[in-house]
Structure 1
Amino acid sequence: MAALKISLKARALRYLSAREHSRTELARKLGRYAEASDDIEALLDFLEAQNWLSQARFSEALVNRRAARYGNSRILSELQSHGIAGAALGEIKTELAADEVARACAVWHRKFGTLATDAAERARQMRFLQQRGFSHRAIQAAVRGTTDNDD
């Protein structure tokens, strides 16, 4: 039995029904199935006009998924790789900066829980938070065991 050929629009709606996608990511996924006569950009414009594809919703969903585990620089880098830029990225950066220290402390507490007893352990804890994308200020506060934003 021959497999049914799914249109690009149906495929796009299937992807979007599973989770939010950025325009760049959806174009890349649809590009695998596009034929010479298909116009992916026109389809993406149509999806945005119908409010089925939204960069703002995608950004919000990504931030919500990543904020509990990662720092600002890692989240912003991932957003940029998905084609989010300009004023939208600036707004997200401002929102994330407000609670980065608290998020770093929460991640540190889940992973380690106790203050470092020697320099090697302290360096290991700091490297862990740095790899997660937290700022130096947030790392210092977390490793010291403080949760205040008044450094």
Structure 2
Amino acid sequence: MRCAHKDHAFGVPKHIGAVHNVASVPVGQPEQAPMRHHNNALRDYRLAFALTLSEYRSATDTTVRELSETCEIPEQTMRSYEKGTHHPDLPRIVTLAPALNARPAALLLAVADRIHRANGLEPTSSILRAVLLHGGLSLDQVAAFDA
């Protein structure tokens, strides 16, 4: 059976590495546009968080197991954060940050900066923008929120 969203020559989902925007949503389906936009923004956020978490953890010379024990977060959950399949809620970020020698706001800003740079934008210093991105808003939605 063929899977419509996979490139079977490589086994990689076609959407990996693709740039997503509202214009890619079919015109006949306006009710799905906000949800698809939200899902793409969350996926991009999870990947940015995963890279940032991995960098911070490596800088502290800590293993995933050690970090999960220190923070009292199940190791499988921590691994899902580093794989980008899930991202922690704000209370978990408050728990994670000290173990990574960071402030929670600095961790959120590092993720937001990574997202901005990946989209060719100047990094942000606004913690509000960082929290809005964490909540699943796209860059376009955050800009509209600021307007």
User: Shorter-chain TM-score: what band?
Assistant: under 0.3
Structure 1 or 2, whichever has the larger Rg, is 1
User: What is the TM-score normalised by the length of structure 2?
Assistant: 0.26
